[in-house]
């Protein structure tokens, strides 16, 4: 089977797997960003499927894949909102950590140590596919996005976030986060693997999905908080795309 998994990238996250749920540990940046990620994800799903977020379990009846789920920082809130969640990751340690934490929280989440291509081969399809902070870690982004497209049901939603490639992202995501703040181990990210918003939009289109939205996730060092921006996609950003019905 063709695979877009990069063994070296999997090894990086395997080494940190036990720390996923420590808000002061190696995944502190994701814990800090998670509220704005969730705001964006929930708003897009609610709009696409005409759901009311104030309802009890508004995502009930939706099948959702969190590909590259890590320790489950997004899988768990999606399950609490009522979605039928499958969390997939190529790192076995991540899946073990995610499964234990979900059990502790009393959540039923189908965690699998697998990859996008294997799910395609199994004929799996989902109303929503999340690919958050993973495309910069795969061996072949275009092939990965094509696999994700096959996993989205016609009329379904694909959400993908990553890091822009420019001098500012090098200064912030590499020098700042890994060397100065030491939020992440050195070498967690490779600047050359970062993808510009226009490049990602083109690849998503080539995969057969229709881009419908993109926003920036912006960190304010003065307020020490994240926000969603319509215009500032200079470092972290997210895109939304839909799969045509036919």
Say if 231 falls within a structural domain. yes
Tokens of 151: 């996993």
Give the pLDDT score at 167. 80
Per-position pLDDT tens, the chain of length 246: 678 998 988 998 898 889 999 998 888 888 999 999 999 999 999 999 999 999 999 999 999 999 999 999 999 999 999 999 999 999 999 999 999 999 999 999 999 999 999 999 999 999 999 999 999 999 999 999 999 999 999 999 999 999 999 888 777 766 555 554 556 666 666 767 889 999 999 999 999 999 999 999 998 888 889 999 999 999 999 999 999 997
Nearest CA to 70 out of 21, 5, 23 is that of 21
Give the pLDDT score at 90. 96
Give the pLDDT score at 66. 98
CB atoms within 10 A of CB 19: 15
Say if 1 falls within a structural domain. no
Query: Computed from CA positions of residues 84, 86, 99, 40, in that sequence, does the dihedral angle turn out positive or negative?
Result: negative
Spatial contact of 66 and 74, defined as CB atoms under 8 Å apart: yes
Q: How many domains does the chain have?
A: 1
Q: Which residues contact 199 (CB under 8 A, 6 or more apart)?
A: 165
Say if 171 falls within a structural domain. yes
Give the pLDDT score at 128. 99
CA distances (Å), 202 to each of 77, 146, 147, 196, 198, in order? Answer: 30, 12, 15, 10, 6
**113 has which bridge partners?**
89
* pTM for this prediction: 0.93
Say if 174 falls within a structural domain. yes
Q: What b/e string do you get for 150-166 counting C-beta neighbours within 10 Å, with b at 16 or more?
A: bbbeeebbbbbbbbbbe
Say if 86 falls within a structural domain. yes
Please give the residue range of the domain that contains residue 99. Answer: 7-242
- Domain CATH code at residue 163: 3.40.50.150
Say if 2 falls within a structural domain. no
Give the pLDDT score at 42. 98
Say if 136 falls within a structural domain. yes
Give the pLDDT score at 119. 98
Say if 48 falls within a structural domain. yes
């Amino acid at each position: 089977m063709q695979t877009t998994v990069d063994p070296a990238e999997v090894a990086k996250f395997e080494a940190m797997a036990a720390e996923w749920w420590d808000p002061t540990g190696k995944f502190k940046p994701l814990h800090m960003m998670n509220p704005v990620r969730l705001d964006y994800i929930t708003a897009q799903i609610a709009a696409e499927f005409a759901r009311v977020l104030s309802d009890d379990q508004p995502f009930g009846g939706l099948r959702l894949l969190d590909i590259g789920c890590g320790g489950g920082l997004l899988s768990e809130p999606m399950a609490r909102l009522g979605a039928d969640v499958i969390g997939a990751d190529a790192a076995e340690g991540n899946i073990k950590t995610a499964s234990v934490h979900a059990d502790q929280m009393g959540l039923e989440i189908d965690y699998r140590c697998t990859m996008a291509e294997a799910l395609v081969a199994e004929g799996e399809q989902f109303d929503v596919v999340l690919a958050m902070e993973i495309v910069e870690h795969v061996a072949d982004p275009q092939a990965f996005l094509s696999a994700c497209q096959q996993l989205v049901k016609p009329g379904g939603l694909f959400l993908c976030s990553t890091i822009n490639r420019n001098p500012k992202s090098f200064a912030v995501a590499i020098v700042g986060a890994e060397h100065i703040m030491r939020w992440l181990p050195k070498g967690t990210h490779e600047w050359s693997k970062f993808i510009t918003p226009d490049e990602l939009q083109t690849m998503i289109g080539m995969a057969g999905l229709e881009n419908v939205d993109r926003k920036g996730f912006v960190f304010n060092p003065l307020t020490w908080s994240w926000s969603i921006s319509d215009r500032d996609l200079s470092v972290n950003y997210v895109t939304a795309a839909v799969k045509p019905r036919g």
